[in-house]
């Protein structure tokens, strides 16, 4: 009898909390959550020397953040540093670092997930942002290696979030960003057959929306919004139907015209 009462009580609490979370989500869908203030907050950006990294740095600079900029390209990173100072950053620190080399990361500063997460946990304060990709949500023809890295990034960020949730670290936020192709030059030559549904994104627009998602503390942020619908369909439709949709949208040939960038010597 006691076991049945406990089970019933647990079920009612679960249903009540579930209803409240759904109502909260509906309210924030209609009334966007207020953006948090990041003035004076330390923001570490990897790949800050160009492209999306530079644009994100400038977005946070305008909001008065303290910037720590990492990039393997010293010249590009220093240029971003100057631009961020002009844009209003409280302080800016630029470091030359190849984030693909573990030794380099630890040489520059102990600020990787493994190294700085304990400090965040100790202070119950911080925000981890993972720039994944739509290629971290679905496999893409001709992009297997990139998909693998982005699936891994998504999984790592989501797993770390779950760990902070279990440890009741409510002050540590996570945002996982999954955009479609962005015009940064990385995917030069790639195309979209449905620009109204899957547009190739302008870098400035993408950076602005990503920062808005971070400041509103969104957990998952996909661009364009059509990706949410695609992931919903993928979750329950038969595989053959999903493949037919992909074929109709010509997604499987998006990489056909890809022009790989030559590495600088």
Residues forming the active site: 146
Angle at which helices 51-62 and 203-215 cross, to 10°: 50
Which helix (H) or strand (E) is 68 found in, with range?
A: strand 66-71
For residues 150 and 62, give the distance between their C-alpha atoms in angstroms, rounded to a whole number: 29
Query: Could you tell me which residues are beta bridge partners of residue 223?
Result: 179
For residues 235 and 222, give the distance between their C-alpha atoms in angstroms, rounded to a whole number: 16
Q: Please, what's the b/e burial string for 93-127 (b: 16 or more CB within 10 A of its CB; e: otherwise)? A: ebbbbeeeeeeebeebeebeeeebbeebbeeeebb
For residues 187 and 189, give the distance between their C-alpha atoms in angstroms, rounded to a whole number: 6
Query: Could you tell me which residues are beta bridge partners of residue 109?
Result: none
DSSP conformation letters of 235-259: HHS-HHHHHHHHHHTTGGGTTTT--
């Amino acid at each position: 009898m006691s076991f049945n009462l406990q089970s019933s009580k647990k079920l009612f609490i679960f249903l009540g909390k579930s209803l409240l979370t759904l109502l909260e989500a509906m309210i924030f869908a209609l009334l966007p959550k207020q953006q948090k203030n990041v003035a004076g907050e330390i923001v570490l950006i990897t790949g800050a020397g160009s492209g999306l990294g530079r644009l994100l740095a400038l977005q946070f600079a305008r909001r008065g953040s303290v910037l720590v900029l990492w990039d393997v390209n010293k010249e590009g990173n220093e240029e971003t540093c100057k631009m961020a100072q002009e844009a209003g950053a409280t302080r800016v620190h630029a470091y030359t670092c190849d984030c693909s080399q573990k030794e380099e990361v630890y040489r520059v500063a102990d600020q990787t997930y493994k190294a700085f997460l304990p400090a965040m946990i100790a202070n119950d304060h911080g925000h981890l942002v993972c720039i994944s990709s739509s290629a971290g949500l679905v496999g893409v023809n001709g992009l297997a290696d990139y998909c693998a890295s982005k699936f891994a990034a998504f999984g790592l960020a989501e797993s770390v979030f779950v760990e902070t949730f279990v440890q009741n670290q409510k002050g540590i936020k996570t945002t996982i960003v999954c955009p479609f192709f962005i015009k940064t030059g990385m995917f030069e030559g790639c195309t979209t057959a449905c620009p109204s549904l899957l547009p190739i994104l302008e870098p400035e627009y993408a950076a602005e929306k990503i920062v808005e998602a971070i400041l509103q503390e969104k957990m998952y942020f996909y661009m364009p919004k059509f990706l949410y619908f695609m992931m919903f369909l993928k979750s329950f439709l038969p595989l053959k139907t999903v493949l037919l949709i992909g074929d109709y949208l010509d997604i499987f040939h998006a990489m056909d015209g890809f022009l790989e960038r030559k590495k600088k010597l």
